[in-house]
Structure 1
Amino acid sequence: MSGNAQGESAASHGHAMPRDVAESVAPVVRAMADPLRLQIVSALAGAPGGRLAAGDVASLTELAAPTVSHHLRSLREAGVVTAERRGTWIFYSLAPGMDRVASSLLDALARAASAPHPADDVDEPTRLDVDAALSHAVERLVARFPQLSPDVVRLVVRESGTALARTATVTTHLPVLAERFAVQRLEDLLAAAAAEGATSPADGAAPREADGGAAPAPGVPTRPRVLFVCTANAGRSQLAAALLRRLTGDAVVVRSAGSLPAARIHATVEPLLAELLGPEAEEPFPKPLTDDAVRAADVVVTMGCGDATPVLAGKRYEDWPVGDPAMASPDGVRAIHDDLAARVAALAAELLPAAPTGTER
């Protein structure tokens, strides 16, 4: 019997994967739900002898070595890959039995991605408009971030658009959101470089303060930077970020992100965010977690996604066991809000012990 026939038969009889089996394979699926990790798995599946040295794995991407190590560690913890040390070399290979799983999965995904669209699946006619809008965004941000090379700005804008498009259900507002996301990423890039004592990729000049303003004078402290991370960036992390912005105004740089961002903010959370941010604020949207956001942060707060967040030296990490509002009742969402409000207030008092709190609109 074919795979399709088996699936249809199971569906017709109401069969589904047993819960214990689903729970055992879910970590594998989560671990592979990243473009870089799929590249690593596909490279290992096709490597001579089925293994690659650590340096060969790193050459698959231009990301920093700690980020690549983080992805490899996640794959190892999920049981997707194994590592073997031989002298001074570390070789990675797919875990026993995972080679067949990886080959079947990657082949199926490749066929699905390259398959022709059904006759009733009409592409949006705005693709060219999106490309043109992103090109205009590049021009604006090149002028806004003269510390960075135009190639860096162009790459970040394009990557931001691609990342958001993976979960977008409608692309009408994609260029606007991509530009907003790119601004945050470029600011984080400069902040991370400044914190690490690096120079700007553009011309060797020291980066300015992360929001595009002038670098602070010697002896003037920079603003604390806080990153809230949850899985979907559609509920808890968005609420926490909005609460901290309301409390501290511009005194703290606040970011939020998701390890597997959703297509939109949870409907249960939208009213609370509107109440916290006010009618004139830009509408929040889910964003993927980036390496530079972690590098730029002073404090990283995770909520249910600590295993997907890179752990870097010199950062303060906290994990808040806060409920997920996605499926909560209105009373449950309000309780989650109150729990977060107490935690955020305590964090704000630590970050700004002598400063009065304000309200950002």
Structure 2
Amino acid sequence: MFVRAAGHPVRWRLMSELAGGDLRVRELVGRVGERQNLVSYHLRLLRDGGLVTSRRSTFDARDSYYHLDLDRCATALGEAGSALHAALRTVPSLPVRPAQRTVRPRVLFICTGNSARSPVAEAVLRSICGERVEVVSAGSHPRDRIHPTVVRVLREEYGLDVAAQRPRHLEAFAGQRFDVVVTLCDRAREVCPEFGGAARQVHWSLPDPAGGDDATFVASARAIATRVRHLVPTLDITTQEVTS
């Protein structure tokens, strides 16, 4: 299934672009250099194959953001390789030698209130990478506090404590350098400032769990954790030999 879905050159280019973050049709048209009707046709085939999903933009309901399901791709790709030969399986990466120190990339997560989505992303990335990454989060219109259900879900589901954390405004990081800036809601993407030409801009079109029940918050946290897990291998976590 994966080989058939991804085998067409236009679909492969669309998947390659979506691997970096969620995009709208007009953005994909510009990136792959094809007509909109052709891009829409191939997106529909990728959706039919279960590799791509879409959701309406919360900033402009006339737009839809497309998302590549990397877990689904990995599973399908692994199955295709194993079907061809047992040797074609993922090989675990080697651990970093302890006699090295890490050059830390800086990552900023942004949503509107900095009370639900972006604090989850910040906490999960910090738990995965520890001191190898410097990570913060902020909001375009920050709330007074982290949502209490977020605090509870992170503690119960992931063993992470953000009870003492307070939402921060984007202005607190004005002029700072970041390697990766991730927006987690469509409205925040529209008002996100520039953080220097070196910053890689990534967008995750995720619904706000506020107003939902506990299950909604759990599902939101899991979706964000999956995205964070996919982000980690793309970070420039290089190492330098310890000389002293």
Instruction: Give me the TM-score of the superposition, normalised by structure 2.
Output: 0.50
**Helix, strand or coil for the counterpart of 2:103?**
coil
Give the residue type in structure 2 aligned to 1:309: C
Q: How far has the Cα of 1:278 moved from its partner?
A: 3.9
Residue 218 of structure 2 corresponds to residue 334 of structure 1? yes
Q: How far has the Cα of 1:268 moved from its partner?
A: 2.2
CA distance in 2, matches of 1:316, 1:322: 19
- Contact preservation (8 Å) 1:294, 1:310: no
**Helix, strand or coil for the counterpart of 2:120?**
helix
Residue 139 of structure 2 corresponds to residue 250 of structure 1? no
Residue in structure 1 matched with residue 200 of structure 2 by the alignment: 316
Instruction: Please state which structure has a larger fraction of its residues in strand.
Output: 2
Give the residue type in structure 2 aligned to 1:288: H
Pick the structure with greater CA Rg.
1
Alignment of 1:11-22 (within 5 A): none
Give the superposed CA RMSD. 2.6
CA distance in 2, matches of 1:221, 1:293: 25
Residue 109 of structure 2 corresponds to residue 225 of structure 1? no
Q: Which 5+ residue runs of structure 1 have no aligned equivalent?
A: 1-219, 356-361
Percent pairwise identity: 37
CA distance in 2, matches of 1:339, 1:290: 27
Residue in structure 1 matched with residue 167 of structure 2 by the alignment: 286
- Contact preservation (8 Å) 2:181, 2:199: yes
Give the residue type in structure 1 aligned to 2:222: D
Give the residue type in structure 2 aligned to 1:239: V
Q: Which 5+ residue runs of structure 2 have no aligned equivalent?
A: 1-100, 240-244
Residue in structure 2 matched with residue 234 of structure 1 by the alignment: 115
Residue in structure 2 matched with residue 301 of structure 1 by the alignment: 182
> 1:291–1:282: structure 2 CA closer, same or farther, 3 Å change rule?
closer
> 1:335–1:294: structure 2 CA closer, same or farther, 3 Å change rule?
farther
**Helix, strand or coil for the counterpart of 2:148?**
coil
CA distance in 2, matches of 1:253, 1:231: 21
- Contact preservation (8 Å) 2:104, 2:237: no
- With CA pairs under 8 Å and 6+ residues apart, which has the higher RCO, 1 or 2? 2
> 1:246–1:294: structure 2 CA closer, same or farther, 3 Å change rule?
farther
**Helix, strand or coil for the counterpart of 1:268?**
helix
**Helix, strand or coil for the counterpart of 1:295?**
coil
Alignment of 1:1-361 (within 5 A): 222-275=103-156, 276=158, 278=160, 283-290=164-171, 292=173, 295-304=176-185, 305-311=188-194, 312-351=196-235
Give the residue type in structure 1 aligned to 2:140: S
- Contact preservation (8 Å) 1:268, 1:325: no
- Contact preservation (8 Å) 1:223, 1:252: yes
CA distance in 2, matches of 1:300, 1:277: 25
**Helix, strand or coil for the counterpart of 1:290?**
helix
- Contact preservation (8 Å) 1:240, 1:340: yes
Q: How far has the Cα of 1:325 moved from its partner?
A: 1.5
CA distance in 1, matches of 2:222, 2:206: 10
Q: How far has the Cα of 1:320 moved from its partner?
A: 0.3
Q: How far has the Cα of 1:348 moved from its partner?
A: 1.0
CA distance in 2, matches of 1:326, 1:248: 27
Q: How far has the Cα of 1:292 moved from its partner?
A: 3.6
> 1:277–1:260: structure 2 CA closer, same or farther, 3 Å change rule?
farther
- Contact preservation (8 Å) 1:242, 1:277: no
CA distance in 1, matches of 2:170, 2:150: 20
Q: How far has the Cα of 1:353 moved from its partner?
A: 7.1
**Helix, strand or coil for the counterpart of 1:349?**
helix
> 1:294–1:349: structure 2 CA closer, same or farther, 3 Å change rule?
farther
Residue in structure 2 matched with residue 24 of structure 1 by the alignment: none
Instruction: Give me the TM-score of the superposition, normalised by structure 1.
Output: 0.35
- Spell out, residue by residue over 1:25-68, the C-alpha distance to the aligned partner (whole angstroms, 9 max, x if none): xxxxxxxxxxxxxxxxxxxxxxxxxxxxxxxxxxxxxxxxxxxx
> 1:294–1:247: structure 2 CA closer, same or farther, 3 Å change rule?
farther
Q: How far has the Cα of 1:274 moved from its partner?
A: 2.9
Give the residue type in structure 2 aligned to 1:308: V
> 1:336–1:278: structure 2 CA closer, same or farther, 3 Å change rule?
closer
Residue in structure 2 matched with residue 48 of structure 1 by the alignment: none
Give the residue type in structure 1 aligned to 2:189: G
Instruction: Please state which structure has a larger fraction of its residues in helix.
Output: 1
CA distance in 2, matches of 1:293, 1:273: 28
- Spell out, residue by residue over 1:226-246, the C-alpha distance to the aligned partner (whole angstroms, 9 max, x if none): 100000000000000011011
- Contact preservation (8 Å) 1:227, 1:293: no
